[in-house]
Each structure stands twice: as C-alpha cells, then as structure tokens.
Structure 1
Amino acid sequence: MLKDARGLEVTTDSQETIAAINRFIEQALGYGKDAEACLLEGIAADPTCATIHAYAAAHYLSQENAVATQQAIAHLQVAQQHVAKLTKREQLYVQAIAAWGSGAIDRAIALHEEITQEFPRDLISVQQGQYHYFYLGDKERLLKIAQKVLTANRDNHYLYGMVAFGLEQCHRLAEAEALGRLATTINRHDPWAHHAIAHVMETQGRVSQGIAWMEKHADTWENCNSMLYTHNWWHIALYYLERGDIEKVFSLYDTRVWGGAQKSSPKDQVGAIAILLRLELRGVDVGERWQELSFYLYPRIYEHALPFQDLHYIYALAKAGRREWLTQMLESMERYAKTVNPYLRQNWFEIAIPAAKGLVAHAIGHWSTAIAQLKPVVPQLYKLGGSHAQRVLFEQVYRNSLLREEKFSTSTLYSSNSTTAKRRTPTSSITDCSSVSGWSKAN
C-alpha cells in the first residue's frame, strides 16, 4: 500500500504506478494533453492496480463517444475484478465510475459526494462530481462540491479555479474573478482559472479586457488537451464576435477552434458548431463550413452521450443538408429516450427532443414550427447542462425565430400578392418537415 501526492492510499506496490498516478492527476486537473499516456504507463507498471484502471475508465467516459466508452468498459472490468482488496475510498471511486458507465448518474453523484465528504483531498472525485452537475444544469451543487473541500486543499490552485467556475455559474462574479486571479497568480499555467475569468468578463460585457486576459495567457494552452485548448480559444472568438470583427472570428475558427481541434472529438465539434450558428444568427455566410464539419458527425447519430451535445449535432446536420442522417438521428433520439436511466428520461422526452425539433425547424427556415417547439422548453434548457455562455445560444435561436416569423408575417401582409402569398422555400436542401419523425409540415 502506497500513497499518492495528495496523501491518499492506493492499493499498489509499484512506485512507478504511483508516479504515473501523480502525473495523471496533475494532467487531469490542468486539462493536459498527456493524461492518457500517464495512465497507460501506470497500468503497464501494475496491471492489477484497480484505481488507475478506474481513472482510465473515467478519462475515456469523459470523451462522450462510443469508441471511448468501449475503452472505458474494458478498464472498469479490470478494476472491478480487484475491488475486494481496495481501500474504502478506492472502492467508492470504482463504484462511482461504474455507475457513470452504466448511465446511473444519480448514483455516481451520490458516490462522489460521499468521497469528497470522507476524503476531501481527492480532487479528481471533486472534478468528476462537478462534471456531472455541469451536464445536469445544477450550478449550486457544482459550486458546493468544490467549496466543501477548500479547507483541506488551501495549497491547491486547481481547486481555486474549480470553485471560481462554480461561483461564476452562480452569478457571484466578483468572488469568481478574485479566486480565478488568485489561482493564476499561484500558477500562471492554470487554464481552468483562465476560463472562469473569461466567463466573468463575458457576462459583464468586458470585451476588451476579456480579449487581453485570454490572449495574455494563451501561450500556456499549448500543453492543454484539445477540448480546453479549443474551448478557451472559442471564448476569445466570442469576444471578437461581440466586437463585430467577423474576419477575426473566421480566422480563429479556421486556425484554433476547428482548425486546432481533434475533429473526432464531440466537445470540439460542439464548439465549432456553436461558432457557426452564432455567425449565421448575425446574418454571416459561413460558406461550406457546415458541410465540411458535418462529415465528422455521422458517428454521433446513435450515441446520445449528452442531450446538450445532440442539440448541436442535429442543428449542424440540418444546416449541412444531411437529410437522411438528420432523420436517422431524430428517430434514434426518440428510441434512446425510452431506454435511458429514469433519472434522466424526463429531460430527454420533455426538453431535448422538442428542442431538437425546434432547432431543425429553425435551421431549415420553418419559423412557426421552431417557435412552437422551442417556446415551452426554453425555460427548462438549463437542465440539459452547459454553461450560461453555451446555453444562451438556444435562447438566441428562439428569439431569432420570433423575429423571422414576425418579419415574414409583416412582409406577407403588405405584399401586393398577399392573398396568394406563400412561405418562401428554405435555402436548406431539407424542405419538408413532414419527413422528420413526429412533425407536421410547416405552414
């Protein structure tokens, strides 16, 4: 029995595995690009170490795609084979990741809460608890799970960044900025702290300061994993979009947000989609970018890892004119919703699926259908997760639908041919909403 750098016992006799675990923890908390390599090194040194297999399973599950999930299951199976000899903390952790792997998110959360209560130095468990709360839209508990371990981790700037993000999501902006700046003062290479402050400044409309802050620290992101590298640049792109500097936004999209992405990564895909949609809502022609991006979305059609992600994919498929894929995905979402863990089922049926249909309607220019589908669910969209900065996009789509419908109605009213006026054919190649499961054709 050895201890890791946080003073937590790990069931292994391999110093090499402990060293690998320590490197992994640093990589995971700092969103480093070498986390997987650390895990594989540690497993090679002790293939029977259940904890590092559980860490590997969590690493792959967080990628939220089918291939990575299969990798996670393989590691979980090994971890569970050795669970009887583990410490209480390790047993709880293996159980938490197994619950995540089976879709029992409520069970996973309860276990992470128990771990952080009894073993407050386990910041990996805190981070994963925050992850689940984030995708449930539970900002209060996202903050609390990190706050409650502050006393035991006053030496850790990564925790300050985690708390700062929770504070920002709870609209405690001054506190969030102070703690994020403290984390960055302790270690300039703390990308999650940079990210928390980016949210604060965006919420407050401090565009120039936000650009200066993020660009000042951008050199430190070169060792980040693809998700946070592209996401932090995504925030910079949003600042320039707010400035109206469309040329700069396209440059960042082409070189950092999508151009710098791991294009098979769901989270990188979501960021790229969100930028293109924001540009189009401002009337900007994005060229062939929808079509180019959509080639990478086919593997997402049947995954349904997170409803938040599905809403982005479905819009992109509609904009790219992928009619067959789009229909397949909507039908698959409805089938999946019947099988999902009861804790999450209501969110799929009552929020995600209507929102998906509304987003597709907007993408193909059927404004009245978009309004009808989105209006009841917009107040509930927070339950699907994402940050304020991410979720506001769906609200913008709804408001845009209202404006476009009003404009269409007004132009029809005053048209010289108003008695025979018909809705213009949408620019998308998907022209008939009746082809989408559960829809009626828009007026």
Structure 2
Amino acid sequence: MATDRHAHAMTHTGAEAVRHYEKALDNLLFFREETAAEAGATLDASPRSAMGNVLRAYLGLLGTEEKDAAEAATAFAAYRKDVPVAELTPRERIHVEAASSWLGGDFHKAGRLLAELVVAYPKDALALAVGHQTDFFTGNAALLRDRIGGALSAWDEHDPHYGLLQGMYAFGLEEAGHYTRAEHVGLEAVERNPRDVWGIHAVVHSYEMQGRHEDGIRFLDNRTDDWSTGNYLTVHNWWHYALYILETGRTDDVLAVYDAAVHHDGSAGSAMELLDAAALLWRLYLADTDTGDRWPVLADAWAARHDGPYYAFNDVHAVMAYVGADRLPDAERLIHDRRTWLEGAGTGAGVSNVAMTAGIGLPACRALVAYGQRRYGDVVDELLPLRRRFQFFGGSHAQRDVLQKTLVEAALRAGRHDLARTLLSERAGLRPQCPYDLEARARLARATAFRAGRED
C-alpha cells in the first residue's frame, strides 16, 4: 500500500496520485490557488483514493461557501457508497467521519474528531491544517493554539512542513493573547518560508492587537511580493493593510486599497472577500465617512449570492452591506429568513450554525439594522449581553472588533456615557496608543463636559 511522506498508509491510492496529493497538501498549507487542481489530479489518478476524496471534501468546506459544500457533500456521499469504510485504515476512517460531520453541518464535531486523530497521528498535516480552520470558524482560541502546539514536538524541525505549522501556531498564540510570543514564532515561520501567507497573517494580527499599526505597515510593505498575489489570503491581508492605514487617519488611502484590492469589478464575489469588504466599509460608516457608491455595489454583490442559512458570520457581514447601502428591507428579509429557519430547525442538534445564528448572528444583525436607523439604545441592548461571547460565531479578534466598535459608537451616541467610559477604558488597557480609542475617549470627554455644563 502506498504511503505519504510521513509514512501514513493511503488506501486505493497509486504512486502518481500520492505525488499529486502531496503537491495539493503543500499548496493548501501555502494557501496557493493551485490546490484544487492538484486535488483533482489526485482523484484523476486514483478515483477511489480515500485521502484524495477526503481532501476534496475539505476543500469544499474551507471557503464557507454553501454551494461548494453541497457539491462536496454529493461527491463524498457517492464515494462513501462506493468504498466501504471497512477497507480504510483507522486514520482514514476518522478523516471520513470528520469530513462527513462537517458536510452535515457539525464542524464542532469535525474539529473534535480531528483533534483526537492528531493525538495518534501528530504528523498528519492535513488533519492539523483543517482542524486549525475549524477552530478559526468556531472562534476557539485555546484550540487554535493547542491543537498545533500539542503536535509540534513530534515534528523534525527540518521537515518542510515544520515552518508552516509554526505559522499556524503563531496565529493560535495571537488569538489566545500571547502577542509577543506570536510575533516571535510568526517571524521565525516567515524566515523559513517567506511566502507562508498564514505566518505573515499571524504576525500582522499580533501587531494589530497591540496597536502597532506603523510596524504592521512596514512589515507588509517589506514583504509585498510574498503575500500580495497568487494566494487565497491576498484580499484578507490587503484588508489588514487597510485597517492599519485607517488607524493613521488616511481615509483616502483606505478607499484606494479597497478599490484596488478588496472589492472591485474583478472580484470573485466569494464570501470571504465580501465579508472583508463589508467589515472595512462598516468601520468607515461608524466614522460617518463618505464612501461614495461603494455600499450599493457591495450590497448588490451580496444579494447576487442568494445565500441560505449556512454560516452566521457571513450573514452579519451581508447585513452590514445592506444597512450601509440603506437597503433595510433586504436586511430585514435576511433576518426574517434566518428566524424562520431557526423555528424549523428545532434544537438543531449536530448543526453548528443553529446555535451560532440564534446566539450571536441574529442579535448582531438586529443591532446593525438598529444602528442604521439611529436607534442607538437598541444597539446597546442587543450587543452588550453578547460582547464577551462574540467568538462563538467564529472569526478572529480583529474581525470581531467591528462589533465591539459598533457597541462603543452606539453607547456614545445613545448618551450611555458610563458604559462608553468602561468600554473605552478596557480597550485602552490593551492598546494604549490606538488612535481610534484615543479619539473616542476625546469625544466622550467633550460629551460629558457638555452634559455637566448643562446640568450646572
């Protein structure tokens, strides 16, 4: 029986298919656009390959695209009907169960299964990479750190994949709050593999969370050729670049990056790209910045997707676009659709998005609509109970900060000054030099002074 480079048996997989599988895995770890082609070549060479079919299933899930997941589910069901699980190795059986669980909507279970798998097979790079992404989609900072950290000691530091695992580990460290350690590990990962865009991304996050925006700009500028083309994270890292610029107050430059790299006529319209676009424009919306005709264009792009209730994190960003474009009926329609879906879903056992939508997605969507209607007190009432639970519907600290800023802005505009002071004090303790926080505190000081003057 053929094996991969780490001696894992690969059932029904010939030597040619193994070569394509290894190339696909390399491309996946580097987030290269050639991943899908190599995965397809694996199955062309060995259609009944267990790991080839598992890989194709995972690729249909990682983009959080409902249509891709449905196609992957159909293909994987046909594979499972053709190849009895009894023919597979124990490792492959767990992969099949994990992929099936995620295709069925339970990516929490998929993540748990993959965590169990790497205890016995810590050098299964696919299990580590896909499990890492389930941790990201579920906002599990501890597992983002420990899933990779728990396997690293089993790896030879000279293994070609070791540095890529360091990049993942650095992101987990950052999400778990170990910013200095994350920066160190991330820089080491990028030193090993300059085009490790996930490692670059981890360093970028560590600077973001420390308010080191100028450092972040320099870091990305010095490595532009390594991250700005040919990978699935290109748009996302440009989004980070725009966030840094936004903190410096150069709004025109932010919009230039938006137009050139985040959303434009040539954009693919994928959920991951559109949510970055919405999150960036929403930050400008909170600052009452004129963004021209960008909101209507973005809202059209979201509407053209016709998304069902698949991932609440995406829904929230679609609502941002509808509110920003003053298309409140579209926002209300999405909210009504998700509420109706929840009523029919019952307890939703085994479907991760049920709890995500009910617990975070719908209240956040209602808050965004209320913000668009200037019902700032209602925004506070919706978001305040959630502010320490936003992570449960996925994303990173940097991504979810858009909701934290929405809460701060709503508190300021609703005259909830004591709450605004508390929120801003918390933020200042983490990022003392953050320009947004300093400006918001100045606004609060003026508002409280004005109120005190009137009361006198």
Shift of the 390–343 alpha-carbon distance from structure 1 to 2, 3 Å rule, reads: same
Q: 1:320 to 1:269 in 2, by over 3 A?
A: same
The answer as to whether partners of 1:2 and 1:9 remain within 8 angstroms in 2 is: yes
Is the Cα–Cα contact under 8 Å of residues 163 and 192 in structure 2 kept in the other structure?
yes
| Aligned partner letter, 2:108 | D
Partner Cα distance (2:396, 2:355) in 1: 21
Assess, with a 3 A threshold, how the Cα gap between structure 1 residues 278 and 291 changes in structure 2: closer, same or farther.
same
**C-alpha separation between the residues in 1 aligned to 2:127 and 2:325?**
39
- Partner residue in 1 for 2:453: none
1:2–1:18: 8 Å Cα contact kept in structure 2?
Answer: yes
Structure 1 residue runs of 4+, over 4 Å off?
299-302
Aligned to 1:136: 138
Which residue of 2 is the match for residue 195 of structure 1?
A: 201
* Alignment partner of 1:398 out of 398, 401, 407: 407
SS in 2 for 1:331: helix
Equivalences for 1:179-328 in 2 at 5 Å?
A: 179-226=185-232, 228-259=233-264, 262-328=267-333
1:350 aligns with 2:356: no
Aligned to 2:33: 33
Match of 1:163 in 2: 169
Q: CA deviation at 1:136?
A: 2.0
Give TM-score, length-normalised by structure 2.
Answer: 0.85
Instruction: Tell which deviates more after alignment, 197-206 or 21-30.
Output: 197-206
Structure 1 equivalent of residue 97 of structure 2: 95
Contact between 2:17 and 2:43, CA under 8 Å: does it hold in 1? yes
**Whole-Å Cα distance in 2 between the matches of residues 260 and 217 of structure 1?**
26
The amino acid that maps onto 2:65 is N
Letter aligned with residue 70 of structure 1 = A
Give the alignment of 1:6-85 within 5 angstroms: 6-80=6-80, 81-82=82-83, 83-85=85-87
Q: Which runs of 5+ in 2 are unaligned?
A: 418-445, 451-456
Task: Read off the aligned partner of 2:383 and give its amino acid letter.
Answer: L
Alignment match of 2:180 (pick from 171, 174, 184): 174
Question: Once structures 1 and 2 are overlaid, which stretch shifts more, 229-238 or 262-271?
Answer: 262-271
Matched position secondary structure for 1:297: helix
* Deviation of the 1:325 alpha carbon: 2.7
Deviations 1:367-399 (A, max 9, x none): 222222222222221211211111111011111
Shift of 1:264: 2.0
Deviation at 1:146, TM superposition (A): 0.6
Deviation at 1:120, TM superposition (A): 0.8
What SS does the corresponding residue of 2:244 show, helix, strand or coil?
helix
By how many angstroms is 1:84 displaced?
2.8
Name the CA distance, whole Å, in 1 between partners of 2:164 and 2:121: 17
1: CA distance between counterparts of 2:361 and 2:350? 15
Which deviations, in whole Å up to 9, do the C-alpha atoms of 1:414-440 show, x marking residues without a partner?
A: 9xxxxxxxxxxxxxxxxxxxxxxxxxx
Map Cα deviations across residues 329-357 of structure 1 (whole Å, 9 max, x no partner).
11121123342435644442232211210
What's the CA shift string for 1:217-259, capped at 9, x where partnerless? 2212255434x11011111111111111111111111111223
Deviation at 1:42, TM superposition (A): 1.2
Secondary structure at the aligned position of 2:362 is classed as: helix
Distance 2:416 2:93 in 1: 60
Identity %: 28
Amino acid of the structure 1 residue aligned with 2:246: L
8 A contact 2:228–2:234 mirrored in 1? yes
- Deviation of 1:328 after TM superposition, in Å, equals 2.3
